Chain A
């Protein structure tokens, strides 16, 4: 049987059948080990239509029956990015139809009255910051509307390693430690990352061997982001030094342990305008609204 994937860190070759079963098992183990899902949970999957969220929805739809009385709902956020988002929304709709999953669509127009392209005119270098804040707001709103008890995002191992490195490069220790899923119960709808232990290439391969790999363009604002540079740099290092990404993620856990007794985390308040939990007087979304003149 032909090998479809080589794992440099373990020197193992996997055929399609074993790749599929191992990825799904690995996700189930991550969920169980970190207690990400409990019986009775309603999981809102942040479904962009891209490869990671596609894999996440497919995998959860297969393994969720192991947790009793759970249900899935997919949430797609339409930022209104021309030449990009329409295709991915269509892919998301097609997938949820195929899987028979409830699908909820929310747009930036719904929450702020304008598309991202219009908001970013002259501010393109802030694209990911602006989009990130608004997307989190939109997801939280949609998750509340659909009575979700947790939001599952498709962050993979590469994403997690990149985030650790990016925050280190920015000198932002609180951000390295900040985990919106932990320690804030009652304030935020918890976020879970079931794919966080799966390398990006394995996710792409998992989808391709099952003929569900979405061939879609990359977000046109990617080129403005620090993450694009970090991604490229880190994957080159990983190629030459397999295991580097895993080491970065382990370093985050070490920092968390060292800082367990040290108050580097901000205390939570309620935004004086919208009431959402935040670290200051105004939440990031309301601060952004003001800065955009909304």
Chain B
């Protein structure tokens, strides 16, 4: 699984940790402070992840 973090750093995981929420918590993110896309499409934190997914985590910047 390929993961692109908010600062554009890339990480790789051999196995999916389960759901988006599980991935985010394992990486130290609060699901309320980020949005997550898989192959360019937004997915919710209850979505199950596959081992070969490419995930992008985008931080929701404060201020608008």
Contact = CB atoms under 8 A, between A and B. Distances in A.
B16 to A, nearest CB: 16
B64 A156 contact: yes
Contact of B42 (A4, A53, A55): A4
A239 B31 contact: yes
B61 interface: yes
A52 B63 CA distance: 7
A204 B35 contact: yes
A239 B42 contact: no
Contacts of B37: 208
Interface in B20-64: 30-33, 35, 37, 41-47, 58, 60-64
A239 B34 CA distance: 12
Given A48-B64, A154-B64, A235-B30, A13 B43 contact: no
Given A201-B35, A235-B32, A216 B44 contact: no
Interface residue tally on B, bucketed by range? 10 to 19
A222 B47 CA distance: 32
Interface size class of A (residues with CB under 8 A): 35 or more
B41 A216 contact: no
Contact of A208 (B32, B35, B64): B35
Contacts of B60: 51, 200-201, 204
Contacts of A50: 61, 63-64
Interface in A199-216: 199-201, 203-205, 208-209, 213, 215-216
B42 A205 contact: yes
A227 B64 CA distance: 14
A217 B64 CA distance: 11
The 10 residue pairs across chains A and B that have the minimum distance between CB atoms: A52-B64, A50-B64, A6-B44, A4-B42, A218-B61, A3-B44, A154-B64, A204-B60, A235-B32, A51-B64
Interface of B: 30-33, 35, 37, 41-47, 58, 60-64
Interface of A: 2-6, 13, 16, 48, 50-56, 154, 156, 199-201, 203-205, 208-209, 213, 215-219, 222, 227-228, 231, 235-236, 238-239
